[in-house]
Amino acid sequence: MARFTAENEELAREIIGRYPVLKSATIPLCHLAQEQDGHLTEEAMEHIAELLGLAPAEVLGTASFYEMFKREPVGKYVVNVCTSISCFLNGGDELLEHAEERLGTKAGGTSDDGLFTIEGYECIAACTEAPCLQVNYRYFHKISNDEFDRLIEDLRAGKRTDIPPHGTLALVRQHIDAERAAGVSPPDHGEQPVWLRDTPALQDQSG
Amino acid sequence: MPDEEITLTVNGREISAPKGQLVIAAAEQHGVFIPRFCYHPRMKSVGMCRMCIVDIDTGRGPALLPACMIEVAPDMKVDTESATTKKAQDGVLEFLLINHPLDCPVCDKGGECPLQDNAYAYGPGESRFVEEKRHFEKPIPVSDVVFLDRERCILCDRCTRFADEVAGDPLIHFQNRGNETEVNTFPDHPFASYFSGNTVQICPVGALTAKPFRFKARPWDLEKVESTCTSCSVGCRVTIEASRNHVLRYQGVDIDPVNWGWLCDKGRFDFEAIESDDRLSEPLVRKPSGATDGTGELIAASWAEAIGAAADAIRNAEASAVAVLGGARLTNEAAYAWAKLAKGVIGTDHVDAQLDDGLPGVAVVGLPQATIDDVCAPGATVIVVDANLKEELPVLFLRLRDAVINRGVKVVELSSMSTGLAALAAVSLVHRPGEAHLAMRALVGDGDAAAVLDGDLDAAKALTGGNVVAIVGRSSVGESAAATVEAAAVLLDARADTRFLVALRRANVRGAVDMGLAPGLLPGRVTLDDGRQWFHEHWSTLPDEEGLDATGILTAAAEGRIDVLVLLGADPAADFRDHDLAQRALAGARTVVSIDTFMNRSTEKADVVLPAAGYAETDGTTTNVEGRVSVLERKVTPPGTARADWMLAAELAYRLGADLGLESVEDIWNEIEALAPAHAGITRELLLSPAGADGVLVPLRPEVAQAAEGQPVQITGIEGTEPDNAALAEAAEPSDDAGEPEPEAVEAVTRAEEEADARPDTVRFSRSDSYESPAPDAYSLRLIAHRKLYDLGTLVQHAPSIAELAPGSTLLVHPYDLDRLGVSDGGRVKVTSPRTTLTVEAHASTIIPKGSAALTVNQPGPDPADLIDATQPVTDVRIETV
Amino acid sequence: MITDAQPIITTRFGYDDSHTLERFLATGGYDGLRAALRKAPQQVADDVKAASLLGRGGAGFPAGVKWGFPPANVWPRYLVVNGDESEPGTYKDRMLMERDPHQLIEGCLIACYAVGLSQAFLYVRGEMALAQERIANALNEAYAAGYVGKNILGTDYSVDIVLHWGAGAYIVGEETGLIESLEGNRGMPRLKPPYFPAVLGLYNKPTIVNNVETLANLPFIARNGGDAFAKLGAETSKGMRMFAVSGHVNKPGVYEVEFGVTTFRDLIEAPIYCGGVRGGKKLKAFIPGGASAPWFYEEHLDLPLEKATVDKAGSMLGSGAIVVMDEDTDIVRACHRIVRFFAKESCGKCTPCREGTSWLEKILQRIIDGYGRPEDVDLLLDICDNISPGINWPPRQTTICPLGPSAVSPIASAVGRFRHEFEAYIGAPVETTVQMNGLAYKAPEPASA
Ligand SMILES: Cc1cc2nc3c(=O)[nH]c(=O)nc-3n(C[C@H](O)[C@H](O)[C@H](O)COP(=O)(O)O)c2cc1C
Ligand code: SF4
Ligand code: FES
């Protein structure tokens, strides 16, 4: 698997349809591809380029700018241990060291069983909860070494069904019903919005 | 209307600059050079390298701002010498150098490297960077001709911007981020762009190098002359750069009216052919051999013997049994000399520079002419008829692309298949091969809309309701030129003020026709009849009546009516669109004299072969697609005893007991200027003066005459086509506008006009009868025989770096037809015309309309020229599975 | 000063189901939207202007003023919500997105109504899976209930809000980088001036970029009027504001406090907030407004959290991130850690940032590894000077955006105050020649009696 499945291609088209300009869908589609394959494959980028009318080099140019897109296979669980300033002050480095030891690989590497990839990460916006980490971008706050070990055990044992495999971000997707959609606003022809006038949109005082 | 001028201060000096100009450009124009790497005047500024940051005060105190991004503003104060500016620029340079390898001594760019130069001029002395430098795998090929050394790259975004913005081939791109950013391609998607070589030229360091030049020379060893590229008829200005009598590279020169500094890769890299071992370097004469078929063998001969043989053959023939085919490879001067020899000495009008792969001479010189700038003028609407610009005139394609993207130009394309222009065109109308005129009638007249097989005719009509400019070409040789000519006529009938850019591909085809190398024409764009009296005073003889065109000549030769067939850089056996006819003609002509730079399929059949000096080996001038004359320079000596084409004409004339009176290139041009009606006033001095640096349009425009101030511009006569008459009228109008011509120039032109009586009128396009095409045959597909940039052409095939790029020919058919014929995509089929049957691979392609089939000419593999009967208006073929 | 002003935007955080439409509606949700729609758009905009709502994304530009920038008669106009929160120390937008997504949506709707923005893009940092889920869910609920999309609340006001995910790049938080990213490009910032997004933004159309927290305040303003908001706070800093206090304090946390009057000391020391430096240790330094900000010290503790005051003292409130370092903190390592961030996150567009921040990081690493040379400290400062000439505050820059110069703050702060710690690593005295002009970088005047 590498190009989008028929189902995902359908989804891709729905996503593309929300943007006034095709290229805007590049990042969402790369996420979708990564969700499908666990990492972002060359074939997927070629498929995305086709769908968006781009050269594959443009898709790669964009994708490679962003850290979350992995162009090589990674573990089922990507563990990002924050080592940015607030966590650094509160044991982030030690947590990373412990993780490396526990999983038997240095940051950037994948455990032998192929299950875990560890990364020393920059600030994940949980600074008051240091030290902290993410597994597949789901948060674990103020985590001790023991808690870390337990987490790994649980993941190994398949007990954490709330954490989908790497690539899947949100388990809920936005869906805009055609009936309810206001519609995209293409940049090349726009008019003053109808509601932008001197009178209120809502006249009915009871509302 | 003159642009609004703005006054600002640069380094304490008040300057004025047009509104919208960037500070970096305004300063440079006033002698203040601001260092830069990423800025390129022909691309959008990105302000990335930060080298051009200078103190700019717009009223809120000085701030360090990139001069390449900031437009001039009233009362702006720019300080390029302040201590902060200097410190910041030094800093940027140091930053650029910390990761840059110190391999200048082995770098192709060493000696012409802005980074190196700036390092001397602005940078601190020794490196404070003691850390390890960034490492990348050393040069990687990004295309067949370009290598990339990412360690040297300074990430200025020039190549990537060029690929995306200018060429429209975004195949190289920044990858990764921050300090790990690199330029690269997508894996297995090389930078296969017709324009990739430009990135090498604009790379400010030695990161991008061209295969043909790598390690060949140190830039300081190169001697340069400025010339014009003659790989096609766009006429890009170039420098020819050579060392010790070897041409080592061409670089684009930025001239406003034509190429803006860009070249296509074919033009840039075909210099390799100059030194090919296959060049003809000595005369050959066919002598009897041991072979029993009596055909003999080509044996090296002395010049005296070879020329003598050719002269004898001509002397013994009736004038009307002598024909000259070819001439588009020649300089204007050589073309003139040959026209004079053929028409004014021998007296034959069976002369054609084209191989029925262009448009008739009267259309080429007689249609009201448009320039490249005209078709790219902001807001213009351009109708493109049967011109596959990307494949045939690549840099014109770039100009038009820019015009569409950045200048609001709208293109309406009429074509028998979808071309590289389709993505740019506002509307593409597809017609059946040989029915361009029907589509044109539907567009601008009341013709049947059914002639448009595909495309939004109403949208096209809405766009072309007003003034239009047209580009007409000959994108397919599967059909005769008649339909395209008729389409031009229909357009001209409907919109009398339409001007045309006749977009023919062969290098100096325009110059050759201007010089009279076409049946029925004489030098300076006059017909044989109109010019008879005038030229009779200067030439000893003239043909009695209009002669045959290429197809006519070859037919006559095949029928045994031609005694001497002179091939003037023409290879009909390979290049004529009807191979069968060409073969029969070469066999049927009693004597074939070939003048060429390479041995080719036709020279092999010749009786006398005379080696000619080629590009970069001869002086003279050339004329581009717009009718712009520019100067060619010689840089190296021709191989062996090869000689300039014009000398051969003079020598032959001499052997025929005549004197052309042409002793040098200068002589010839002087005679052209004095005699050719359209060329009056375009003196060699003018061409060599600053006013002529961008080339000079024929006929001379008053503003050019004026710009040549200080130059003794003598105009002894002129006859303008429409726009020039308008210009004359305008010029005659008293005006105090600064943009108007100086009184002397006006006077010169007016004087010229008065004297014009002496010279005959230049030709105006007209057609005798309107053309009607044959109805399609329901059982056949109609053949499109189109071109690709890289083909089996002589120069391409003798330039090793690009020779392999010829893509080969496969039959393209619309999926619907392929399905109907029961052929699978990629399956082998038999293609049959009355001429022959070819077996080819067929591919489904939606760029071909239903009912047509396309093959590429002159490619490795089956050639459509085997199928075409040049005497027929169209080529219908039947297709069946093998 | 600690006041009893009530929170505005964190009011629902106490509920477990704070993110649901049900809870939202039960607690006054979408009343602000209704209130706004009962006014003409311009009136709503005027209200926001009257509120003096400063942008909460970092630059602190008044939202109401920004809303007035789009040129007349250029359509369409877009809204881009900046939910890319990534600056080290910053943690508040994530909370707002995870715990009260409907409040944010309501804010977007009010902004679009007031300014005539015809499509909104809600750009959420890629690494925030839960926030994405919650917002997706909230949007789906809101669409179904008629709050978003076509004919909102039965009026002719229609706008789509599109949830967009980032993919890991701090620079995309910078508004022009955000726009590039939303266009599907590498998130490399654009030069401004000449053009600001409000004039030429997404797809080169006028675009309002606002931070999540900024927008979250709009329902309150719409319900209660701009004046009610402006009654809170002081001077140029009105309303309430969220601050994340992290590092060496007893109770790190995110607190919504009255803007402009609460002091750093209040936040760091008061028992209802952080309860002082951890373990009774002494304060060594603190970062007042995110990793880009010059550091503050003991003598700054009594400054109010007020924009102009903090600016004048030589730093900034930035993204509302306060990071506290106690007396045991290894300053060289802390400094390195922050510089490493900017080096990693440089987009690579500008030479001084791309090359300079990495160079700084390498030198600091070398010093930490024990290979420092006495001249390295001056070299660090000179590199800083080449990225941000004069090492001043507010900074000048040789770069396009402020990221490059951000790496200068921690170095200038660390070298300015704690030179001896560099000397300790290097093992030799250190001389510097490069001038630092930022006020906070300099040692305080000796206290006069
Ligand atoms: C390097 C850099 C990073 C930034 N990151 C963020 C961010 O993560 N979130 C944010 O809202 N604003 C960020 N900003 C500020 C934005 O550029 C912009 O000012 C803000 O989104 C405007 O919204 P506001 O006016 O509502 O604050 C950043 C600015 C810079 C220079
Ligand atoms: S300063 Fe740095 S992050 Fe900002 S645009 Fe320049 S290179 Fe990119
Ligand atoms: S030349 Fe201006 S920033 Fe590069």
Cross-chain Cβ contact B173/A65 below 8 Å: no
Measured CA to CA in angstroms, residue C255 lies from B432, B503, C94 at distances of 74, 72, 14
Nearest-atom number in ligand 1 for the CA of C402 is 31
DSSP β-bridge partners for residue B62: B57
Average confidence score pLDDT of chain B? 92
Helix (H, G, I), strand (E, B) or coil at B782: strand
Least confident of B37-51, B210-224, B685-699: B210-224
Question: pLDDT value at position B710?
Answer: 53
B partners (3+ CB pairs within 8 A) are A, C
Least confident of B2-11, B395-404, C310-319: B2-11
Taking the C-alpha atoms of residue B860 and residue B620, their distance in angstroms, rounded to an integer, is: 34
Residue to substitute from A60, A62, A67, interface B, most B β-carbons within 10 A: A60
Q: Closest by alpha carbon to B848, among B447, B430, B421, B236? A: B430
B379 contacts B385 by C-beta, under 8 angstroms: no
Which string of DSSP letters, residue by residue, matches A3-59?
A: SPPHHHHHHHHHHHTT-SSGGGGHHHHHHHHHHHHSS--HHHHHHHHHHHT--HHHH
Surface of B (150-189) touching A: CB under 8 A: 169-177, 184-187, 189
Question: pLDDT value at position C293?
Answer: 98
Residues B736-776: tens digit of each pLDDT: 444 444 555 555 555 555 555 578 999 999 887 778 889 98
CA of C170 to the centre of ligand 2 (A): 11
B245 contacts B266 by C-beta, under 8 angstroms: no
C386 or B125, greater pLDDT: C386
Taking the C-alpha atoms of residue B156 and residue C441, their distance in angstroms, rounded to an integer, is: 34
What type of residue is C447? A
Q: Which of C86, C182, C185 comes nearest A123 by C-beta?
A: C86
Q: Which residues of A touch C337 (CB under 8 A)?
A: 83-85, 88
Structure tokens at B212: 């043909």
Question: pLDDT value at position B732?
Answer: 39
Taking the C-alpha atoms of residue B401 and residue B376, their distance in angstroms, rounded to an integer, is: 9
Least confident of A20-24, B275-279, C339-343: B275-279
Q: Which residues of C touch A126 (CB under 8 A)?
A: 91, 94
B741 or B490, greater pLDDT: B490
φ, ψ for residue B476, nearest 5 deg: -135, 135
Q: Find the helix or strand (DSSP H, E) in which B567 lies.
A: strand B564-568
Q: Is C244 on the interface with B (CB under 8 A)?
A: no
Q: Find the helix or strand (DSSP H, E) in which C119 lies.
A: strand C119-124
C401 contacts C58 by C-beta, under 8 angstroms: no
B159 contacts B172 by C-beta, under 8 angstroms: yes
Question: pLDDT value at position B737?
Answer: 44
Q: Which ligand is nearest to the CA of B158?
A: 3
Question: pLDDT value at position B105?
Answer: 85
Residues A96-151: tens digit of each pLDDT: 999 999 999 999 999 999 999 999 999 999 999 999 999 999 999 999 999 999 99
Residue to substitute from A23, A26, A59, A65, interface B, most B β-carbons within 10 A: A65
Q: Is A54 on the interface with B (CB under 8 A)?
A: yes
Question: pLDDT value at position A2?
Answer: 87
Whether the bond into B699 is cis, omega within 30 of 0: yes
Cross-chain Cβ contact A56/B186 below 8 Å: yes
Q: Which ligand is nearest to the CA of B36?
A: 3
Question: pLDDT value at position B758?
Answer: 78
Q: Which ligand is nearest to the CA of C344?
A: 2
DSSP state of B198: H
Handedness of CA B67, B70, B71, B73 (dihedral sign): negative
For C443, counting Cβ atoms within 10 Å of its Cβ (0-12 exposed, 13-18 middle, 19+ buried), the class is exposed
Confidence of residue B341 (pLDDT cuts 50, 70, 90): very high
ipTM, two decimals? 0.96
Question: pLDDT value at position B744?
Answer: 55
Question: pLDDT value at position B210?
Answer: 95
B67 contacts B35 by C-beta, under 8 angstroms: no
Question: pLDDT value at position B734?
Answer: 42
Report yes or no on whether pTM surpasses 0.80: yes
Question: pLDDT value at position B733?
Answer: 41
Confidence of residue B296 (pLDDT cuts 50, 70, 90): confident
Question: pLDDT value at position B749?
Answer: 55
Cross-chain Cβ contact B169/A55 below 8 Å: yes
Residues A175-202: tens digit of each pLDDT: 999 999 999 999 998 899 999 999 999 9
Is there an atom of ligand 3 within 6 Å of B39 CB? yes
Structure tokens at B551: 């197809």
- Asked if the model's pLDDT at residue B541 lies above 60, the reply is yes
CA of C61 to the centre of ligand 2 (A): 21
Question: pLDDT value at position B216?
Answer: 82
Q: Which ligand is nearest to the CA of A123?
A: 1
List for chain B the helix, strand, coil content (%; round to 5). Answer: 30, 20, 50
| Dmax (CA) of chain A | 67
Q: Is C180 on the interface with A (CB under 8 A)?
A: no
- Asked if the model's pLDDT at residue B1 lies above 60, the reply is no
- Asked if the model's pLDDT at residue B472 lies above 80, the reply is yes
Cross-chain Cβ contact A60/B177 below 8 Å: no
Question: pLDDT value at position A139?
Answer: 98
Average confidence score pLDDT of chain C? 96
CA of C352 to the centre of ligand 2 (A): 8
Confidence of residue B219 (pLDDT cuts 50, 70, 90): confident
Question: pLDDT value at position C193?
Answer: 72
- List, in order, residues 6 or more apart from B881 with CB less than 8 Å away: B821, B822, B823, B827, B828, B829, B830
Q: Which residues of A touch C291 (CB under 8 A)?
A: 84-85, 123
Taking the C-alpha atoms of residue C41 and residue C116, their distance in angstroms, rounded to an integer, is: 8
Distance from CA of A203 to the nearest CA of C (A): 6
Helix (H, G, I), strand (E, B) or coil at B749: helix
Q: What is the mean pLDDT of residues C305-325?
A: 97
Q: Closest by alpha carbon to C189, among C343, C345, C60, C71? A: C345
B42 contacts B261 by C-beta, under 8 angstroms: yes
Cross-chain Cβ contact B131/C389 below 8 Å: no
Taking the C-alpha atoms of residue C425 and residue C376, their distance in angstroms, rounded to an integer, is: 11
For B16, counting Cβ atoms within 10 Å of its Cβ (0-12 exposed, 13-18 middle, 19+ buried), the class is exposed
Q: Which of B172, B177, B185 comes nearest A65 by C-beta?
A: B177
- In this structure, chain C runs to a length of 449
Question: pLDDT value at position B120?
Answer: 76
A-C C-beta contacts closer than 8 Å = 265
Taking the C-alpha atoms of residue C208 and residue C113, their distance in angstroms, rounded to an integer, is: 12
- Asked if the model's pLDDT at residue C449 lies above 80, the reply is no
Q: What is the mean pLDDT of residues C287-315?
A: 97
Residues C183-197: tens digit of each pLDDT: 999 999 998 877 799
Question: pLDDT value at position B716?
Answer: 38
Q: Which of B47, B64, B177 comes nearest C169 by C-beta?
A: B177
CA of B365 to the centre of ligand 2 (A): 55
- List, in order, residues 6 or more apart from C83 with CB less than 8 Å away: C93, C97, C122, C123, C124, C125, C128, C131, C212
Q: Which of C345, C355, C366 comes nearest B98 by C-beta?
A: C355
Q: Which residues of A touch C414 (CB under 8 A)?
A: none
Nearest-atom number in ligand 1 for the CA of C212 is 11
- Asked if the model's pLDDT at residue A205 lies above 90, the reply is no
**B661: Cα within 13 Å, side-chain hemisphere:** 10
Taking the C-alpha atoms of residue B881 and residue B840, their distance in angstroms, rounded to an integer, is: 10
Question: pLDDT value at position B727?
Answer: 41
Place of tokens 């009936």: A179
Handedness of CA B526, B531, B536, B542 (dihedral sign): positive
Confidence of residue B705 (pLDDT cuts 50, 70, 90): confident
B255 contacts B226 by C-beta, under 8 angstroms: no
Q: Whose CA is nearest to atom 5 of ligand 1?
A: C173
Is there an atom of ligand 2 within 6 Å of C406 CB? no
Confidence of residue B728 (pLDDT cuts 50, 70, 90): very low
Choose one of C108, C174, C188, C191 to mutate for the ligand 1 pocket test, by most ligand atoms within 8 angstroms of C-beta.
C174
Q: Is A171 on the interface with C (CB under 8 A)?
A: yes
Question: pLDDT value at position B118?
Answer: 82
Residues C395-446: tens digit of each pLDDT: 999 999 999 999 999 999 999 999 999 999 999 999 999 999 999 998 776 6
